[in-house]
Structure 1
């Protein structure tokens, strides 16, 4: 039997913070081009979530989500897989170890209302962080459930496109979810953070244009040629 994939495995596969920032920004830009209706997009990026912070987010509309906050203090990653046996709703609070070791500099994110339910409980099954100056990503010391699937905290499912950042991985996901052909070279262009052009936009979606995407481009902070 294969060993479970957990948040610790994902942490080892994440890139440097700047590269993760650019990748998350690119995912949001790709989806904005492919899907004009914001409601149906999984990936979003707000370059000005607050005065000094940017936030990447993912929500699949079925209760699974993540949020990644980029700031001068570092990067805080929170994920929630609603069917995970480590759900706070299954154990009446965050699973032991998931948040216990989060540094003080990120505690405000742990308690952030946007990442909590109406009772103030953090909605989380997986958490990763990296302070500015650290040489690696960190996750808590966790005793994972013994009888579980190969993805106990949902990290492999939630962060799959962050661990495998290849254009092919996004193409496979997008063609399955959006049910349209997705141009691989255009995906490669955007994932490389090269400036967006009219030709790249049209290759991804013939009905889209730079003008129509102006608001999304501004929110995401993606470069334009």
Structure 2
């Protein structure tokens, strides 16, 4: 197993990180869904939830949370080679491999892919040798400082982002008007209601 895959957190923590990143992006970009990096749909299809990242430059990842377990893959266009996960993952995930595939080839390709059924004691999968954290960066480093540094460069907010408010969201504490205002005084819980319902994030 590639070391990148081994650094992924356990399933519940991975899901929580995906949700928290989606909420932070929703707060900082409430009017422009297309301008967000991170999203999470708790009702993506039937019993499945989907976390995703798209940077608009050809790099992305998708993480599917299903009753069977978790399947994820990323594509980094700066990595010169790619893998074909279709024949490597369990049959239960094959349909999602095709649906969430990337690249122009007939068979889906990825620069990293992973899965974990409820019977697996650890993540399984692979990543090309040249594949660093890349698109997975904030999934592997969930610190408030890492998100703040990235978000201040990407969103260019008018004021420095409040570290305590970021930590509040990353800890999945119920979102409050004060926390939202500390990150973006130009939005509120009412404006974010649809996003929070889709992400299934608590408010209080």
Q: Which residue of 2 aligns with 1:148?
A: none
Tell me by how many angstroms 1:170 deviates.
0.8
2:86–2:108 CA contact under 8 A, matched in 1: no
Indicate conservation of the 8 Å contact 2:23/2:199, yes or no.
yes
Aligned length: 201
Q: Is the Cα contact below 8 Å between 1:68 and 1:77 reproduced in 2?
A: yes
Find the counterpart in structure 2 of residue 28 from structure 1.
22
The SS at the match of 2:74 is: strand
Contact between 1:99 and 1:127, CA under 8 Å: does it hold in 2?
A: no
List, as ranges, runs of 4+ consecutive aligned residues in structure 1 with deviation greater than 6 Å.
none
Match of 2:53 among 49, 58, 68: 58
The equivalent of 1:110 in structure 2 is: 97
TM-score (norm 1): 0.83
8 Å CA contact retained: 1:20, 1:162: yes
Is residue 177 of structure 2 the alignment partner of residue 182 of structure 1? no
Partner of 1:19: 13
| Structure 2 residue aligned with 1:101 | 88
Query: Counterpart in 2 of 1:170?
Result: 147
Question: Secondary structure, in 3 states, of the residue corresponding to 1:10?
Answer: helix
TM-score of the pair, normalised by structure 2: 0.92
The answer as to whether partners of 1:111 and 1:120 remain within 8 angstroms in 2 is: no
Tell me by how many angstroms 1:213 deviates: 0.5
1:47 and 2:47 correspond: no
For the pair 1:77 / 2:56, whether they are aligned, the reply is no
> What SS does the aligned partner of 2:63 have?
strand
1:9 and 1:117 mapped to 2: Cα distance? 24
Note if 1:204 corresponds to 2:174: no
**Structure 1: unaligned runs, 5 residues or longer:** 1-6, 88-94, 145-151
Q: Output the aligned Cα RMSD.
A: 1.8
Counterparts of 1:84 and 1:122, CA distance in 2: 16
